[in-house]
């Protein structure tokens, strides 16, 4: 096993009208919500393309082969069944089974995410067991670990403000070392967009 193998997992929803950013769509309509989600995808693609780690896009509900995620840069896979925690756990498990020693996962909802945040996350995993990128809404935009800690994916009320804090509690219970990245803003509502310099341009 190559101890330097590192993997970035990207969870992405296929951009389809009426199915993208549904909470946001209540305020701005389906077409604008889809436009915003496509901009989020493009931003995530831009900040992940140049990092040296292997990259895999886990799609839902199906894999798209001819989109912006180039096949020679990004591996592609389908998210498993289950809630968000079960799907993330399965993705991490597959990565560790393939010999990766440090794995981070992100979604596609954070306009404030930069390449430097990703670089810092993988660097942190050389000295810490877990890295967490908390978001303003109480969730997280990034989670990284150097082996599979399944309790971090269970007993969570996903998409609520308790997720990051409960994850910290899990890390404490396991006596693991934790590195936290800066708090960033995920885009789920119009208010989130208004806080984001990039997001404001889309309204």
Does residue 140 have a pLDDT over 80?
A: yes
Does residue 139 have a pLDDT over 50?
A: yes
pLDDT confidence band for 1 (50 / 70 / 90): very low
Q: Is the peptide bond before 61 cis (omega within 30 degrees of 0)?
A: yes
Q: Stretch 52-69: mean pLDDT, rounded?
A: 96
Q: Stretch 176-189: mean pLDDT, rounded?
A: 94
SS (H, E, C) the chain: CCCCCEEEEEEEECCCCCCCCHHHHHHHCHHHHHHHHHHHHHHHHHHHCCCCCEEEEEEECCCCCCCCCCCCCCEEEECCCCCHHHHHHHHHHHHHHCCCCEEEEECCCCCCCCHHHHHHHHHHCCCCCEEEEEECCCCEEEEEECCCCHHHHCCCCCCCCCHHHHHHHHHHHCCCCEEECCCECCCCCHHHHHHCHHHHCCC
* Residue 2 pLDDT: 45
Q: Which domains does the chain have, with CATH numbers?
A: 6-200 (3.90.550.10)
* Residue 197 pLDDT: 66
Does residue 168 have a pLDDT over 70?
A: yes
Residue carrying the six token digits 């604008």: 32
Does residue 7 have a pLDDT over 60?
A: yes
* Residue 13 pLDDT: 96
Distances (CA, A) of 158 to 25, 35, 43, 195, 202: 20, 25, 24, 23, 27
Does residue 173 have a pLDDT over 80?
A: yes
* Residue 76 pLDDT: 98
Q: Stretch 139-164: mean pLDDT, rounded?
A: 95
How far apart are the C-alpha atoms of 31 and 86, rounded to whole Å? 30
* Residue 6 pLDDT: 98
Q: pTM of this prediction?
A: 0.95
Distances (CA, A) of 72 to 7, 102, 180, 184: 15, 21, 31, 30
Does residue 89 have a pLDDT over 90?
A: yes
54-68, 164-178, 179-193: the lowest-pLDDT one:
179-193
What would the pLDDT profile of 35-47 be if each residue is shown by its tens digit? 999 999 999 999 9
* Residue 3 pLDDT: 60
What would the pLDDT profile of 150-162 be if each residue is shown by its tens digit? 999 999 999 889 9
Q: Over the chain, what is the mean pLDDT?
A: 93
């Amino acid at each position: 096993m190559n101890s330097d193998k590192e993997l970035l997992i990207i969870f992405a929803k296929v951009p389809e009208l009426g199915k993208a950013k549904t909470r946001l769509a209540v305020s701005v309509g389906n077409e604008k919500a889809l436009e915003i989600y496509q901009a989020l995808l493009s931003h995530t693609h831009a900040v992940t393309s140049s990092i040296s780690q292997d990259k895999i896009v886990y799609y839902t509900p199906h894999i798209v082969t001819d989109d912006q995620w180039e096949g020679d840069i990004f591996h592609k896979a389908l998210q498993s069944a289950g809630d968000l925690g079960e799907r993330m756990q399965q993705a991490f498990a597959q990565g560790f089974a393939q010999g990766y020693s440090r794995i981070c996962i992100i979604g596609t909802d954070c306009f404030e995410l930069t390449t430097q945040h990703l670089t810092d996350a993988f660097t942190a995993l050389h000295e810490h067991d877990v890295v967490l990128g908390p978001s303003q809404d109480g969730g997280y935009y990034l989670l990284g670990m150097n082996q599979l800690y399944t309790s971090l994916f269970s007993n969570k009320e996903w998409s609520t403000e308790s997720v990051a804090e409960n994850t910290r509690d899990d890390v404490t219970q396991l006596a693991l070392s934790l590195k936290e990245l800066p708090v960033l803003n995920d885009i789920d509502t119009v208010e989130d967009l208004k806080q984001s310099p990039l997001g404001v341009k889309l309204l």
